[in-house]
Amino acid sequence: MRILKTILIASLFVASAFAAVSGTVSDAKTDEPLVGTSVFVKGTFVGTTTDDRGTYSLDASPGDVLVVAYIGYKTQEIVVGEGVLDIALETDVLRQDEVIVTGLATTVKRRNAANAVAVVSGADLVNAPIQTLDQALSGQFAGVNVRRNTGAPGGGVNVNLRGTSTLTGSTQPLYVIDGVIINNDANQSGVDVITKSTGAGSERPQGQPTNRIGDINPNDIESIEVLKGASAAAIYGAKASNGVIIINTKRGRGGKTKFNFSTRTGQSSLLKKMGHRVFEDYTEAKDQYGANLASLGLTNSDDTTTWAGNNFDYEEILYGETGKLTEHTLSAIGGNESTQFYIGGQYMDEGGIIVNTGYKKMSGRINVSHRFSEKAKLSVSTNFIRSEADRGVTGNDNTNMTYGFSIGFTPSFIDIRDSDGDGVFPDNPTNPSNPLETAEYFVNNELTHRALGSLTFDYNLFKQANQSLSFLGVGGADFYNQENEVFIPPFLQIEESNDEPGQAVMTTTDNLNTNLSLNLVHKLKMSGMNFNTTAGLQYETYDWNSVFVHATGMIPTQTNVDKASSQSVYHDRSKRQDRGRFFQEEITVGDNIYLAFGMRGDVSSTMGNTEEYQWYPKLAASYQFGELAGIFDNLKLRFANGETGNMPQPRAKFTTLSSSNIGGINGLIPASTRGNSGIKPERTAETEFGADFSVMGGLATVEATMYTQNITDLILLVDLPASSGSLYGWENGGEMETKGTELTLGLNPTQLVSLGGLDWNFRMNYYTSESKVTKLTVDPYNFGGFATFLGTYRIEEGWSPTAIVGSETNADGSYQKLGDENPDYRISFHNSFRLGPVELAFLIDHKEGGHAINLANLIYDLGGTTADYEENGGDRLGGLGTVTQPYIESTTYTALRDISLNYTLPSSVSDRLGLGYLKVGFSGRNLWLDTDYTGLSPEVSQFGNEAVGGSVDTNPFPLSKSMYFTLSLGL
Amino acid sequence: MKTIRTNKTLKILPMIAVLFWAGCEDLDFPDPNNPTDETATIQTLVTGAEAVMRMDLGVYLRDLLVVGREAYYLEPADPRYTGELLHGPIDPGGFLCYRPWQTAYKVIANCETIMGSANADAGAIGVAQTLHAYSLMRLVYLWDESGARLNYDGDINAAVATKAEVLAKIESLLDAGYSDLQSAESSEDNEFSFALSSGFSGFDTPAAFALFNRGLRARVAVHQDDWSAAQTALDNCSAWATSSDPDEGVYHAFSSGANDQGNEMYEDPTATTIKLVVHPTFYTDADAGDSRVSDNVVVRADTIIYDELESYLAPNLYSSSYDPVPIMRAVELQLLQAEVHIGNSDYSSAETIMNTIRTAAGVASYSGTDASNAVDRVLHEKRYSLFLEGHRLADMRHYGKTDELPIDRPDRGDTIVTFPIPETETPG
């Protein structure tokens, strides 16, 4: 496209007087002119784009074939005759002409793509307001599993493409926005240090940290493309084994400046409760809590008469806030032939369902593209974001401070409310903290400022009618500063028993990522064949710096970490330098055959050997049968094979000493984890086969894919005997295999049968993935969770890496498999209906199978408050230590992810108001969830985005359902 | 295929080259966070060893106190303290087991590094051997007959050493350390070339540190029933053993400084909820008016109940999170002397020592101490004088009296558990 435009402008300069062909390109349905459509002579680089009235003119001879292409429309080929040639384009329902990314600097049309590539448009993401970008991906793609680790404001989302490919490494895909790799850190908030769940700088932070990708405003997005496996992502090399998510933000196309404004208002409320035990009479309470009920505030010990009979639903009281939402977005898009711009702004303020929780975001983006000569074009993107989340204190706890633990230990007959409303809460007699008091005064705030910038420079070095060579340089920087503030005032019940009551944590993290990518692209057209050759160099740096201060013994009324009797400080840095080089050749023969091969080499500071490049090859081919046997509109068979890597953690290669001081004297001890100076990246090799077809004029489209991944050099954090001075060591010591199938079915019934103007689109995504450890160079081991008898994961040859075991063993001492985090399959259904000005769309998401370790039930059991305590609680507890099974539960669920109903007012109304359009709508997110899982959320992960060991439920922030009203208008 | 012909290309290539080199930095840089072995000095190694001895001290003591029925740890967030520790089995992969184990070997790793260092003088080697022996003694206290590892090379196929072998190793380390400390006393002007923390205040010269070495030697010898070696060791530290202050001794010190630690045993005894509560028999078995009870225990108005266990007694040993925790105090040496006398059937000398301690505590003196009651009496005095210091379980085992410890929930299968070797220490 770039090159086409270059040529076009050249031809306007030089050849406009000799134009033999001219005309207008318009939408076949609406007759509106299409600005910026590419029109070129087939088999050459001679071409142009339409101006802001949709007109074009170029030099072509009668008999030449013109190719007319515009995003979202079917590409048309027309033979040039004499005089004016007007062209009407039809919308591309099947999206066969959509271009998709195949390299760092090249694209291919979907009809030829050799991989199953999933694309979603920005408009589909923002039917209903969404706090974070990652949440918006949920249910949109086959093979893309989006999991909310917690319901806490600001997210904490696990995005997994095609199953498990690592045991200890990064699990999150690489995010590339406008050609630049951007940061998706999940930083420890420090709330897990306050709850003594883990220490500062833990390898396995708890408290379900947020992901920084969530900062990106979904409204700025033009499209998202997902390279799911190694075969598609090979060109991204050693960082791409979790797949790549390529995001393009909106860009101007020239023409009249268009303004869009939308405002939304709505509210959210609790989606699902645990439920609790109701104590029928005094005897039941006495049997549970002993004769000493006086200490619980029950003064009458008469077994029959004056039982208070209280039944406070503390989930309802604590999680029962109505979160209020306001969102405003404003965008402007426009420009002329040489300069185009997009400006987007967002303001969002969403309250949580627990008092003093919520999320706020402000985001501003300016994208400008300018062509300053016939050869050179510069595109600049800038984005500034401020996001803020108040997340309360939930999840795992060793102090009984978090809401879920506290409620579990508070029987419903005890009144811990602040009944006179003076802000002074009674002490909780059965638990060290009063959760209502904690919620009122606890602060867990995360504030992020972020700036992203990128610059793309496109320069045509050389061109002829049938070949061109251009240089593409992309540079980018991504800086964020994240401040986490946690504060517990000294007067809270939980703090009173401490020697130094009151705590504050201040964590400041900043990070700078830079990217530089230099590419040469050569295109050659020759007798029906196109050759695209690309070669390039990549540089990336990552420089992360975090300072954590934990203060105890706070001066009353003060929150600063220096206003305290003692402080501990933790400082952590992480630094990475990566270099890559690649070469790729893509060959298209006619419209039928596509062939690509390439190689990428990477070297990084994280590797033990920083001299030797790791090489990642790829090979891909597809054959397009076109129309076939009167049934298929088109049929394509495809094959792809490629390799990618997953980097070791930057610290993995260093064997170091830790600081352990006493009385102001510096001391050093061996670090718990021993480094490995020969550590290599993990390697994933993937083979993918697929068939795509559509039948009966687009009535149905099918994309079917099967893939196999072989993962070698798995990085393990293996147990070392503590008698050696270290507990763990890094090792490349395993192999794993992941197999999966993906099926996408699209139906457009109204294409075939007219239902009074109704347009109905249906899309189903079905996928499975199954992993197995095929080789382990160390003894099998248990990993994750808290202890074997509390449920843990088992890493053993021949087993799924996400298999869950517990105390139960067979006669020979081997572990019994009690469950598996990995589901049998997932399926989602997306429906959209349009009748005139009315649109209705909804997305249903179903997960079949999969298990979690529900320790929320254990917490309630220990407190004697589980809803089914009388029937089952005693048995569950009694067996604890020998039987874990009752705490392993299925996480099958069905959810209504989102639903929206929109009405566009007739143009007579909008015209009278001087508006381009005016639209009103209702939408809802997560309105309905059906599951047998007894905890708060079947998607829970206490350990965030860990590859293995995440599905442990210690009562996360509960999920909410939300309803919104939207008003949007354009100028 | 890519023949480049235009002049502009030639202008752009140097630009690219500049960008290229600007982006290059050395990929092989050191860890930005932590020092490596070369950074360590004798001072940092000694301090590291002393500091890391306190790591998970809370878990180590709770293990001993709960199994030895001196206290309960009523922790609703973690049922293992009232489950595993009271009825077992101890999870060989659980933190109750591996954390105290790991601490001991971290100390040993530093001691071994000092021993192998060219910079270590006799004082440093004497300290290293003594701390090494002390760490092994902690392992014996908790693992008892399960033994411990004496090979530190990570070879899990090597045999685990028996308790007797570990005690023999402790003995030889202490004796070698003693001679190094004596040589430092004479040849290094009785000064250490490094500083010890305030926990060793009064014991921070080679000669004074040697007293601590001998005190440990006496403790080990008593556990070996080697009464003459114990007597010799006690004679060698009599300056300390006869101190008028029963608290004079060696301690784990704490502070709020950077990378330092707090006293994990401290809780406000009057707080609404506390976790570490004293076993009720400590109160009911006490002699009338024993100030070791009234000074060290708060009788609460309420009863704390959890998991079918209850207590109304809160420990009151410490007044803040930075109070030191004893490693060895003079009163222990006096009681060890009493044990040695009993071992030598000298009951009247043992009675004299016990009565001095009892008089100070405000309780009536013993009379008629003989073979039938002497061991029970000295165990009673150790229980009350060394309250919550973690000696009771090892002492009851030493005299084969663990069946006399109270079992609170026989219907739940409560028993006196033994600790297995952590699972990462053996193959399979």
Q: A270, A960 in Cβ contact below 8 A?
A: yes
Other C-beta atoms closer than 10 Å to the C-beta of B3 total: 6
Nearest to A940 by CA among A740, A929, A827, A411: A929
Tell me if A878 is assigned to some domain: no
Query: Is B5's pLDDT higher than 50?
Result: no
Residue in A473, A569, A671 nearest the CB of B258:
A569
Shared domain for A67 and A173, answered yes or no, is no
Question: Which chain B residues contact residue A603 at CB under 8 A?
Answer: 27
Given a contact cutoff of 8 angstroms between Cβ atoms, the answer to whether A738 and A162 are in contact is yes
**Residue B377 domain-assigned (yes or no):** yes
Calculate how close chain B gets to A780, using CA atoms only, in Å: 8
DSSP states along A377-412: EEEEEEEEEEEEEE--S-S--SSS-SHHHHHHTS-T
Spatial CB neighbours of A31, under 8 Å, sequence gap ≥ 6: A88
d(CA A450, CA B234): 67
Structure-token pair, residue B232 = 């010799």
Whether residue A542 sits in one domain with residue A489: yes
Task: Name residues whose C-beta falls within 8 Å of residue A371's C-beta, 6 or more positions apart in sequence.
Answer: A5, A9, A337, A338, A339, A377, A378
Compute the nearest-CA separation of A865 from chain B (Å): 13
Rounded CA gap, A815 and B93, in Å? Answer: 14
Do residue A205 and residue A229 come from a single domain?
Answer: yes
Chain A residue with CA closest to B194: the answer is: A665
Pair A425, A555 in one domain: no
Q: Give pLDDT < 50 ranges for chain A.
A: 1-18
Q: How far apart are CA A179 and CA A251, in angstroms?
A: 14
Instruction: Say if the Cβ atoms of A605 and B27 lie within 8 Å.
Output: yes
* Angle at A806 (CA atoms; ends A805, A808), nearest 5 degrees: 105
How far is B71 from B61, CA to CA, in rounded Å?
Answer: 10
What is residue A840's predicted lDDT score, i.e. its pLDDT? 93
ipTM for the whole complex = 0.89
Q: Is residue A870 part of a domain?
A: no
Determine the Cα–Cα distance for residues B340 and B347; give it in Å rounded to an integer: 10
Cα–Cα nearest to A401, from A224, A255, A547, A207? A207
> Could you tell me if A52 and A14 are in contact, meaning their C-beta atoms sit under 8 angstroms apart?
no
CATH number at residue A653: 2.40.170.20
Question: What DSSP designation does A322 have?
Answer: P
Q: How far is CA A209 from the centre of its chain?
A: 13
Q: How many angstroms separate the CA atoms of B371 and B374, rounded?
A: 6
Element (H, E) at A840: strand A838-848
Q: Quote the minimal CA–CA distance from A324 to chain B in Å.
A: 34
Q: A462 to chain B nearest CA, in Å?
A: 7
Instruction: Tell which residue, A124, A121, A94, A122, has the closest CA to residue A110.
Output: A94
Name residues 139-198 of chain B within 8 A of A (Cβ): 148-149, 151-154, 156, 195, 197-198
Q: Is residue B1 part of a domain?
A: no
Confidence of residue B21 (pLDDT cuts 50, 70, 90): low
Does residue B43 sit within a domain?
A: yes
> Within 10 A of A543 (CB to CB), how many other CB atoms are there?
16
A863 vs B contacts (CB less than 8 Å): 76
- DSSP 8-state class, residue A869: I
Q: What is the pLDDT of residue A49?
A: 73
3-state secondary structure of B274: coil
- For chain A positions 623-652, those within 8 Å of chain B (CB to CB) are 651
Q: How far apart are CA A362 and CA B20, in angstroms?
A: 36
Beta bridge partners of A471: A459, A520
Residues A286, A349: one domain? no
Helix H or strand E segment including A549: strand A529-554
Number of H helices, E strands in chain B: 16, 6
- A195 and A331 belong to one structural domain: yes
The interface residues of chain A toward chain B in range 783-812, judged by CB-CB distance below 8 A, are 787-789
Question: Which amino acid does the sequence have at A359?
Answer: Y
The whole-angstrom separation of Cα A738 and Cα A970 is 47
**Boundary residue ending a domain (A72, A92, A112):** A92
Domain that holds residue B164: 39-266+320-425
Count how many domains chain A has: 3
Last residue of a domain, one of A70, A92, A114: A92
* Rounded to 5°, angle at Cα B345 from B339 and B351: 60
Q: What is the DSSP letter of A842?
A: E
Residue A188, pLDDT score: 85
B13 within some domain: no
How many of the other CB atoms lie within 10 Å of CB of A613?
A: 17
| CA-wise closest residue to B189 among B206, B201, B172, B203 | B206
| Widest distance between CA atoms in chain B | 113
Alpha helices in A475-578 (DSSP H): 493-496
- Any B CB within 8 A of A516 CB: yes
- Alpha carbon distances (Å) from B126 to A663, B110, B130, B140: 22, 13, 6, 21
Tally the residues of chain B.
Answer: 428
- Nearest-angstrom CA–CA distance, A131 and B90: 45
User: In sequence order, what are the residues at sequence separation of 6 or more whose Cβ sits closer than 8 angstroms to the Cβ of residue A777?
Assistant: A731, A733, A734
| B389 belongs to a structural domain | yes
> Which CATH number characterizes residue B136's domain?
1.25.40.390
Shared domain for A684 and A602, answered yes or no, is yes
How many contacts, defined by CB atoms under 8 Å, are there between A and B?
259
Contact, B378 vs B342, CB < 8 A?
yes
A378 and A340 in contact (C-beta within 8 Å)? no
Q: Confirm whether A429 is domain-assigned.
A: yes
* A308/A332 same-domain check: no
Is the Cα dihedral A867, A868, A874, A878 positive or negative? Answer: negative
The reply to whether A491 and A615 lie within a common domain is yes
* Pairwise CB contact (< 8 Å): A721 & B154: yes
Query: What's the domain range around A732?
Result: 123-269+322-393+442-659+667-778+822-850+891-970
User: Prior bond to B89 cis, omega within 30?
Assistant: yes
Q: Are A250 and A359 members of one domain? A: yes
Same-domain status, A360 and A493: yes
Gap between the Cα atoms of A912 and A148, Å rounded: 45
Domain total of chain B: 1
- Determine, yes or no, domain membership for B2: no
The pLDDT score that the predictor gives to residue A22 is: 83
* Two tokens, residue A758: 């109704």
Pair (A944, A827) in one structural domain:
yes
- B424–A399: do the CB atoms touch at under 8 Å? no
In this complex, do B31 and A654 lie within 8 Å of one another by their Cβ atoms? yes
User: Considering all CA atoms of chain A, what is the largest pairwise distance in Å, rounded to the nearest integer?
Assistant: 106
The phi-psi region of residue A715 (left if phi > 0; otherwise alpha if psi is between -120 and 50; otherwise beta) is beta
**A555: which DSSP letter?**
P
Cross-chain residue pair B32–A533, CB shorter than 8 Å: no
**Closest of A867, A856, A841 to residue A921, by C-alpha:** A841
Residue B167 has pLDDT above 80, yes or no: yes
What lies within 8 Å, CB to CB, of A911 at 6+ separation is: none
**Under 8 Å CB-to-CB from A410, ≥6 apart: which residues?**
A314, A416, A428, A430, A431, A435, A863, A865
Q: Are B352 and B381 in contact (CB under 8 A)?
A: no
End position of a domain, from candidates A92, A112, A137: A92
* Cα atoms in the 13 Å half-sphere on the side-chain side of B93: 18
| Cβ pair A966, A253 in contact under 8 A | no
Least confident of A87-101, A107-121, B54-68, B253-267: A87-101
**Contact across the interface for B47 and A662, Cβ inside 8 Å:** yes
HSE, CB side, 13 Å, CA atoms: give it for residue A527: 0
b/e per residue, A401-439, with b = 16+ CB within 10 A?
A: bbbbbbbbbbbbbbebeeeeeeeebbbbbbbbbbbbbbb
| Contacts (Cβ under 8 Å, ≥6 apart) of B400 | none
Do residues A918 and A909 make contact, with C-beta atoms less than 8 angstroms apart?
yes
